[in-house]
């Protein structure tokens, strides 16, 4: 993990576990954004920028969280709320302590040495769904193992992990990764469809953050299929003519410094000639595996694509713009949710991520028709300030906020959240909004 020594206090430095002091975050973090403020002090500037930034002008990054402030809750009073409970059963997502999950996002080990193993344990203990990225820094199998050992410690927790796939030029490798995930016990698949190329994040170019910092690796590509009787023999060649990356090691794709931002280097692995047939292809593959594995199509931003995704076999539509890291200038996810709900909500559940930072954001998204919401950057920031413990702490803060928001809105159960609990204030449409507190604080600390 990369720590910003200059900004670490001496008491932090006396602590074990990579300068992470639980007192530090417990005394300084009272909401999700506080973890970002602390992470900015503790992580090196290039890593912080890599995690926090959006593409191009960062319009969409900022909009994602600002847009929640344009939706208003409609509280109902004098209703019994003595037993507020965030637990719910997600269609295709199981029985969870709250309808908040960790969105799949690569390279957790940049923030904490245990990487995704730390995060998955926090999720298992919180009894929520965890998404593992294909671009993780701990392997599919290691993370499954960490999750089940954590779950078995407590009878009240259960592991509910989904694996996130990208479609690679190398279709065989795409399927091998999926099969490994299913064999390791992952219960569902996120198929990310918004990343045929990677968004350009200027701060990475400015910082020269153009290769995955050693010793970190995208370990899922290192798997030795030839020594696994289930898969052997496989072809392991690199096709020099078209740059496709069929090989034992894919080092040159993500450790090369060809592009200005390191994950743009992975582009050569990704299939750019994709279509809805590929979604159907993945769905067929899941069916062939003989298990009822739900397919969540992640990265849908229009009603048209939501309909096409359902036709191609999606079990769940996930409204996402990759946290503002891909196409800049597209709308906030919460603002496109209504059109997608109108198009497909009667057929499939809709999940959403992007800018969720408060329990009230969760409540607004659920009232607008989402069944569950994901968080991305807050997971990195909490991992970076205190590893597994801080992720758990951050999740508890969000859950407490959600419970309070539900109670004050007169809602006892997740199933009782309705469209009438949210509205859009007509006066605020088209007006600019004052900066959120996080933006003010971050700007003043630059």
234 within 8 A of 247, measured Cβ to Cβ: no
Q: How far is the CB of 70 from ligand FMN (least distance, A)?
A: 16
Q: Check if 425 is active-site.
A: no
Residue with smaller CB distance to ligand FMN, 21 or 371: 371
Site for ligand FMN (CB under 6 A): which residue of 24, 93, 94, 104?
A: 104
**133 near ligand FMN, rule: CB under 6 A:** yes
Residue 413, annotated ligand binder? no
Segment near ligand FMN (CB under 6 A); pick from 8-16, 35-43, 322-330, 415-423: 322-330
For residue 325, say whether it is annotated as part of any ligand binding site.
Answer: yes
Residue nearest to ligand FMN according to CB distances in the complex? 376
Residue 334 marked as a ligand binder: no
Which one, 99 or 376, has the nearer CB to ligand FMN? 376
Among 359, 376, 386, 387, which residue sits at the site for ligand FMN (rule: CB under 6 A)?
Answer: 376
How many chain residues are in contact with ligand FMN, going by CB under 6 A? 23
Catalytic residue among 108, 216, 322, 421: 322
Pick 84 or 168: Cβ nearer ligand FMN: 168
For ligand FMN, the binding residues in 41-100 under the rule CB under 6 A are 51, 64
Q: How far is the CB of 155 from ligand FMN (least distance, A)?
A: 30
Instruction: Please state the closest distance from residue 378 (CB atom) to ligand FMN, in A.
Output: 6
Contact (Cβ atoms closer than 8 angstroms) between residue 373 and residue 365: yes
3-class SS string, the chain: CCECHHHCCHHHHCCHHHHCCHHHHHHHCCCHHHHHHHHHHHECHHHHHHHHCCCCCCHHHHHHHHHHHHEEECCCCCCCCCCCECCEEECCCEEECCCEEECCCCCHHHCCCCHHHHHHHHHHHHCCCEEEECCCCCCHHHHHHHHHHHHHHCCCCCCCEEEEECCECCHHHHHHHHHHHHHCCCCEEEEECCCCCCCCCHHHHHHCCCCCCCCCCCHHHHCCHHHCCCCCCCCCCCCCCCCCCCCCCCHHHHCCCCCCCHHHHHHHHECCCCCHHHHHHHHHHHHHCCCCCCEEEEEECCHHHHHHHHHHCCCEEEECCHHHCCCCCCCCHHHHHHHHHHHHCCCCCEEEECCCCCHHHHHHHHHCCCCEEEECHHHHHHHHHHHHHHHHHHHHHHHHHHHHHHHHCCCCEHHHCCHHHEEECHHHCCCCCCCCHHHHHHHHCC
Shortest distance in whole angstroms from residue 141 CB to ligand FMN:
18
21 or 137: CB nearest ligand FMN: 137
Q: Which is nearer to ligand FMN, 64 or 265 (CB)?
A: 64
Looking from the CA of 349 toward its CB, the CA atoms found within 13 Å total 20
Angle at 158 between CA 157 and CA 160, to 5 degrees: 135
Site track for ligand FMN across 384-423, x = CB under 6 A: ----------------------------------------
Determine how β-strand 422-424 pairs with β-strand 71-73: antiparallel
158 to 197, contacts with ligand FMN by CB under 6 A?
A: 164, 192
User: Is 37 known to sit in a ligand binding site?
Assistant: no
168, β-bridge pairs: 270
105 is in an annotated binding site: yes
Q: How far is the CB of 71 from ligand FMN (least distance, A)?
A: 16
Q: Is residue 356 marked as binding? A: yes
Nearest to 42 by CA among 78, 15, 62: 15
Among residues 24, 94, 115, 354, which is the contact residue for ligand FMN, using CB under 6 A? Answer: 354
Judged by CB under 6 A, the stretch of 8-16, 215-223, 316-324, 393-401 that binds ligand FMN is: 316-324
371 is in an annotated binding site: no
Q: What distance in Å separates the CA atoms of residue 99 and residue 59, rounded to the nearest whole number?
A: 27
Find the part of the chain contacting ligand FMN (CB under 6 A) among 8-16, 101-109, 410-418, 434-442: 101-109
369 lines the binding site for ligand FMN (CB under 6 A): no
We find the least distance from the C-beta atom of residue 198 to ligand FMN, in angstroms, to be 10
Q: Does 40 bind ligand FMN (CB under 6 A)?
A: no
Distance, CA of 339 to CA of 235 (rounded, Å): 45
Show binding-site residues for FMN: 104-106, 133, 164, 192, 298, 320, 353-357
* Residues with catalytic function: 322
Show binding-site residues for glyoxylate: 50, 166, 201, 322, 325
Show binding-site residues: 50, 104-106, 133, 164, 166, 192, 201, 298, 320, 322, 325, 353-357
Binding site for ligand FMN (CB under 6 A): 51, 64, 103-106, 133, 135, 164, 192, 298, 320, 322-323, 325, 353-356, 375-377, 380
């Amino acid at each position: 993990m990369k720590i910003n020594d200059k900004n670490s206090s001496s008491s932090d430095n006396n602590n074990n576990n990579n300068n992470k002091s639980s007192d530090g975050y417990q005394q300084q973090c009272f909401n999700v954004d506080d973890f970002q403020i602390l992470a900015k002090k503790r992580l090196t500037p290039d890593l912080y920028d890599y995690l926090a930034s959006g593409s191009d002008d960062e319009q969409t990054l900022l909009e994602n969280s600002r847009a929640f402030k344009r939706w208003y809750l409609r509280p109902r009073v004098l209703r019994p709320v003595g037993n507020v409970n965030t637990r719910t059963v997600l269609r295709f997502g199981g029985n969870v302590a709250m309808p908040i999950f960790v969105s799949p996002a690569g390279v957790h080990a940049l923030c904490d040495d245990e990487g995704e193993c730390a995060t998955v344990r926090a999720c298992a203990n919180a009894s929520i769904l965890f998404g593992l990225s294909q671009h993780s820094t701990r392997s599919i199998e290691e993370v499954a193992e960490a999750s089940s050992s954590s779950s078995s410690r407590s009878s009240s927790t259960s592991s509910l992990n989904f694996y996130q796939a990208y479609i690679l030029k190398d279709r065989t490798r795409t399927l091998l990764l999926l099969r490994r995930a299913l064999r390791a016990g992952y219960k569902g698949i996120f198929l990310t469809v918004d990343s045929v190329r990677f968004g350009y994040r200027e701060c990475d170019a400015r910082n020269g953050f153009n290769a995955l910092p050693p010793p970190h690796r995208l370990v899922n590509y290192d798997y030795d299929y030839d020594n696994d009787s289930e898969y052997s023999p496989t072809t392991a060649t690199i096709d020099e003519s078209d740059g496709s990356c069929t090989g034992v090691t894919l080092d040159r794709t993500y450790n090369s410094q060809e592009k200005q931002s390191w994950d743009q280097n992975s582009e050569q692995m990704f299939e750019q000639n994709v279509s809805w047939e590929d979604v159907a292809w993945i769905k067929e593959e899941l069916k062939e595996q003989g298990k009822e594995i739900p397919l969540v199509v992640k990265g849908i931003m229009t009603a048209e694509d939501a309909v096409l995704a359902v036709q191609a076999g999606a079990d769940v539509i996930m409204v996402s713009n990759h946290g503002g890291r891909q196409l800049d200038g597209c709308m906030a996810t919460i603002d496109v949710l209504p059109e997608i709900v109108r198009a497909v909500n009667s057929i499939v559940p809709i999940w959403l991520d992007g800018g969720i930072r408060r329990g009230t954001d969760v409540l607004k998204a659920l009232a607008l028709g989402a069944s569950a919401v994901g968080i991305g950057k807050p997971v990195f920031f909490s991992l970076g300030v205190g590893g597994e413990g801080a992720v758990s702490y951050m999740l508890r803060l969000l859950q407490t906020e959600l419970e309070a928001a539900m109670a004050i809105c007169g809602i006892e159960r997740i199933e009782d959240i309705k469209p009438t609990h949210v509205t859009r204030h007509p006066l605020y449409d088209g007006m600019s909004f004052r900066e959120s507190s996080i933006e003010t604080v971050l700007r003043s600390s630059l």
